[in-house]
């Protein structure tokens, strides 16, 4: 088993994936084991735009955004694995399977996304992700993503 790398901070995250506010859903990534796994961290705050409508009287992070946060964590793992910092590589969903939501994620939660590579690839990768809040599993899913080099 390969040894885990240092923490990837927000500045480096933005050099790996193209996402920005309000769609950048990972604050840092830790415990990166190239080609194997990583843990993304998202500090959930009431200041996020989706909470004004989901739901005004009981704010809940939308499940699709939890899945997106897991996918962004996976993209950062691939970016570190393949040395894609500053390479402007895009990562696109191809499929999402076996999704289960088990706990609401609310403002004040620290969401930890544990992503494991189930099939590494050149262009197409498969992952299993689990998201935890307050030590409880909030979501799990299997997903497939495609790496797309910059156009031009």
Sheet order of strands, 37-43 included: 28-33, 37-43, 110-119, 124-133, 136-148, 90-101
Q: Residues 19, 50, 54, 128: which is the catalytic one? A: 54
> Does the annotation mark 54 as catalytic?
yes
Q: Which of 23, 110, 38, 111 is nearest to 74 (CA)?
A: 38
Alpha helices for the chain (secondary structure H)? 10-16, 63-81
Catalytic residues: 54
């Amino acid at each position: 088993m390969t040894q885990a790398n240092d923490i990837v901070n927000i500045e480096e995250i933005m050099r790996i994936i193209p996402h920005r506010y309000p769609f950048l859903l990972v604050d840092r990534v830790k415990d990166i084991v190239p080609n194997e796994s990583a843990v993304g961290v998202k500090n959930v705050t009431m200041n996020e735009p989706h909470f004004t409508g989901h739901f005004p009287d009981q704010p809940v992070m939308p499940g699709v955004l939890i899945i997106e946060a897991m996918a962004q964590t996976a993209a950062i793992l691939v970016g570190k694995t393949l040395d894609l910092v500053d390479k402007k590589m895009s990562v696109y969903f191809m499929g999402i399977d076996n999704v289960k939501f088990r706990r609401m994620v609310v403002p004040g939660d620290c969401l930890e996304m544990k992503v494991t590579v189930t099939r590494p690839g050149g262009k197409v990768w498969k992952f299993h992700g689990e998201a935890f809040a307050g030590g409880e599993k909030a979501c799990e899913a299997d997903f497939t993503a495609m790496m797309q080099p910059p156009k031009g």
